[in-house]
Amino acid sequence: PIRHRDWSEQSTAPHGDVERRPFRVTHPHHPLFGQVFDLVERGRNWREDRVFFHDTAGGSHSMPAVWTDLVAEDPFNAVARGRAAFRAQELLELVQLIEAMKS
């Protein structure tokens, strides 16, 4: 028998009711950094919150919502301002991974 509960839900198209509004790309290394686009849709695709938009040539695109100003900046990142590459919890998890690899 097929066990559907082990499968992850996949969406190939955006869904949900979203008010159309502009957003800015805030990821500093993205080629569209600083540009403003009109939000067409916001939805989940492969468990990731994504925004869907059209570029100036009319092409359809999507990107993670966290790379835009639609998601509030993480408080840790706001305070660290690039001075801390890792959080304490992330460093502890790294130590655990390294210890597990040694075993």
**Domain range list for the chain:** 1-72, 73-103
Res. 12: pLDDT tops 50: no
Strand partners, 68: 25
Confidence of residue 14 (pLDDT cuts 50, 70, 90): very low
pLDDT of residue 69: 95
Mean pLDDT within 49-69? 94
**45 to 5, 11, 84, 85, 94: CA distances (angstroms):** 18, 5, 30, 28, 28
Contacts of 38 (CB under 8 A, 6+ apart): 20, 21, 22, 23, 53, 54
**What is the average per-residue pLDDT within 44-58?**
92
Contact between residue 64 and residue 49 where contact means Cβ atoms under 8 Å apart? yes
**Confidence at residue 88, expressed as pLDDT on a 0 to 100 scale:** 84
